[in-house]
Structure 1
Amino acid sequence: MDKAPDTSAIGDFLRSRRSRIQPDEVGLPGHGRRRVPGLRREEVAQLAGVSVDYYIRLEQGRGTSVSDAVLDAVARVLRLDDTEQEYLRSVARPAETRRKTAARPAGQRVRPGLKLLLATIEKAPAFVLGRRMDVLAWNALGDALVGFSAMTEKDRNMPRQVFLNPAARDLYPEWPAVAAETVAYLRLDAGRHPKDPRLATLVGALSLASEDFRRLWADHQVKEKTHGAKRLLHPLVGELALPYETLTVSGEPDQALVVYTPEPGSTTEERLRMLGSWALT
C-alpha cells in the first residue's frame, strides 16, 4: 500500500501559500478577526470546489488518492506557478514520485562526453550540478572562479558553500538573494526525491549551523534554476556581472549544466580572460 504524503511537507507548504493571499484579492470579505494571515482552510476549499473535510485531509497529509483535478483547483486558488505546482504534486504523492525516481542510477557519475563538452567551454565558467546541488564536474575557468578542485568532496556542494563558508558573503555582494535562490532550488529537489537520507542529513547540518538557512527553509519557497544573473566580487579580479543559463542534461534528469555567460566585450569578459590566464600560469 502507498504511504500517505509527508504531513509536515504538504501541510507547511499549503499553509505558507494560503497565508500569502488576502481574502479581498479573491472576492471574499476581509472583515472580522483572523487568527492567521491569508485565507482560511474553509475558504480555500470553497474556492477550489471541494468539501472542507477533503481539503483539511489534504493539508494534514491524509489525501492518499487526491486527483489531478483537485490539485489543479487548489493550485489555481493559491496562485501557484508551474514550479510550485510540480512541488505540490511531489509532496501530495510521494510514493508515486519515489517510483518515478527509483529507476534512476543511484550514483552521480558525469558522462565522459559531458566532461569533454565542459572542457571545450573555454571563455565561460561552467559546472555540472547534481542531486542536492552537489557540484559534480567543472571546467578550468569555473575552477578558477570558485575553486572547486581545492574543496573536499563533501564541501563541493552549493548550499554548504553559501551558508557554511564565511567567504561566501564577500564573494556574493547580493548574498541574501543568492541564499534564498539556493534554498528554493534545494526545496524543489526535496520534493522530487522524498525521504532522501542524504538530503535530510544536509538540511539538518545546515539548520544547526545557520539561522538564515532555518528561516529560509521554513518559508517553503520553491524555484527552478533555469536562468538568471549573479554578481560576484572575486578576490583577484574584482566585480563580475555574470548572467547564467542552466540546461538539463539529456538522459540525466538529476543533472544540470550551468554556464555563466558574460556579455561580449564587457569588463567582466576581460576580467575572466585575465583570471583564466593567471590560473594557467
Structure 2
Amino acid sequence: MTRTTPEHKALGAFLRERRGRVTPAEVGLPQAGRRRTPGLRREEVAQLAGVGVTWYTWLEQGRAPNPSDQVLDAVARTLRLRPEERRHLMLLAGRTAEAGPHAPDPLMEVRPEHVAILERLLPFPAAIQTAAYDLVAANRSYRFFFGDLDAVDPVDRNCAWLLFTHEEWRACLVEPEVVLRDLAGRMRARAAEFPHDPRWPGLLGGLRERSPEFVRYWDEHEVRGDRTQLRHYRSARVGRLDTIFQSLWLDRERGERIVVLTPADAASARRLERLDALVGAAPRWTARDGVLTDALVG
C-alpha cells in the first residue's frame, strides 16, 4: 500500500473541497436524483477526467501512486480550477522544483539595497517579509502603521499572526473578512510552494489554536495568488487610509518579498505624509536582530 504523506492528505482534502463546489450543470451533467452532498460525485469526476473511479478515490484518500501531469490536468479542468488553484494542485502533488527538499532559512538576510528601498519609499509603508510572512524589516511608516512593530515580541512579528490574533492590528482593518480570507488563501498557496520552510508548522498550528476565524477560512481551501489589491485601513493616528497593496519579489525562489502600501487617493496620500511626520523622530527603518549583513552593522 502506498504510504500516505501530509502532502497527499492535503491534496485529497483540496480535491474533496473543490469537488463540492462544482455543480453537475456546470459540467454538462443532468441533475438526476437526490444528492446527499453538494457538488459532483467521485464517479462523475472520474468519468469526466477519463480515469478510473477506484484510482480517483485513492487520489482523494492520498493513496494514488505518482499521478501523471496529464491526469492532474484533466482533474483540474473537470473541477474548473483557476490558474493559481491548478498550480496549488501541482505543488501538493510534488510537481515543481520550487517545492524541493532544500528549506529556506526562517529569516532572510537584509542587504543594504533592501534598506535603501525601504527608505526611498517613505512616506509609503513598506516591509520585508519571508515566505512564511515573518516581518524582518520595515520602514518608519510601516512600523507605526498598525501600532509600533518594535513593541511587538520578535517571536510574534509575523503579519499573519498579528492580523489574526493581535487586537490592535485587526482593529486597523476596515474590511477584516475580506483581508483575512484573502490572507488565508495566500498562506495556503505559499505553504504548498515552500512546504519545507520550518516556520509553517508552528505558525499554522498556533493560528488554529488561537483563531477560530483562521480555522474557518483555512478550511475553505481557498487558494489566492499575489495580486495588487485595494485595501482600506483605519489608523489610530491619522484616520482612514485607502491604499493599493502590492507584493513585490526580492527573491522569488525563496519567497522573500517587499510589501508596499501606496495611497489610492489624494486624501490618503496626505494622511500617510502626516503619519510619517508624526513619527519622524524615529529611525527611518527598523529590522530584527541578526538579519543585517555586515555592511549595515556598526
Aligned-residue offset at 1:38: 0.2
Aligned pair in 2 of structure 1 residues 275, 218: CA closer, same or farther (>3 Å)? same
- Distance in 2 separating the partners of 1:63 and 1:219: 23
- Distance in 1 separating the partners of 2:47 and 2:121: 54
- Distance in 2 separating the partners of 1:199 and 1:83: 20
The within-5 A match list for 1:91-110 is: 91-93=92-94, 98-99=99-100, 102=102, 104-105=104-105, 107-110=107-110
SS of the residue 2:234 aligns to: strand
SS of the residue 2:154 aligns to: coil
Aligned-residue offset at 1:167: 2.2
Q: Comparing 87-96 with 112-121, which one deviates more in the overlay?
A: 87-96
Tell me if the contact between 2:231 and 2:244 (Cα under 8 Å) persists in the aligned partners.
Answer: yes
Paired position in structure 1 for 2:235? 234
Note the residue ranges of structure 2 that are not aligned, 5 or more in a row: 282-298
Aligned pair in 2 of structure 1 residues 119, 64: CA closer, same or farther (>3 Å)? farther
Aligned-residue offset at 1:169: 3.5
Kindly provide the CA deviation profile for residues 172-220 of structure 1, in whole angstroms up to 9, marking residues without a partner as x: 0101111101111111122113355531111111111111111111111
SS of the residue 1:124 aligns to: coil
Aligned-residue offset at 1:253: 3.4
Q: TM-score, normalised by structure 2?
A: 0.86
| Bigger relative CO (Cα 8 Å, ≥ 6 apart) | 2
- Distance in 2 separating the partners of 1:196 and 1:103: 5
Q: Which amino acid aligns with 1:244?
A: F
Paired position in structure 1 for 2:119? 119
Q: Comparing 66-75 with 145-154, which one deviates more in the overlay?
A: 145-154
The within-5 A match list for 1:29-68 is: 29-68=30-69
Q: Comparing 75-84 with 250-259, which one deviates more in the overlay?
A: 250-259
Q: Which amino acid aligns with 2:188?
A: R
Q: Percent identity?
A: 36
- Distance in 2 separating the partners of 1:94 and 1:148: 38
- Distance in 1 separating the partners of 2:252 and 2:47: 42
Paired position in structure 1 for 2:9? 8
Tell me if the contact between 1:244 and 1:261 (Cα under 8 Å) persists in the aligned partners.
Answer: yes
- Distance in 2 separating the partners of 1:112 and 1:105: 19
Tell me if the contact between 2:4 and 2:62 (Cα under 8 Å) persists in the aligned partners.
Answer: no
Q: Which amino acid aligns with 1:18?
A: R
Paired position in structure 2 for 1:89? 90
Note the residue ranges of structure 1 that are not aligned, 5 or more in a row: none
Kindly provide the CA deviation profile for residues 40-87 of structure 1, in whole angstroms up to 9, marking residues without a partner as x: 111111111111122112211123311111111111111111211111
SS of the residue 2:156 aligns to: coil
Paired position in structure 1 for 2:79? 78
Q: Which amino acid aligns with 1:280?
A: G
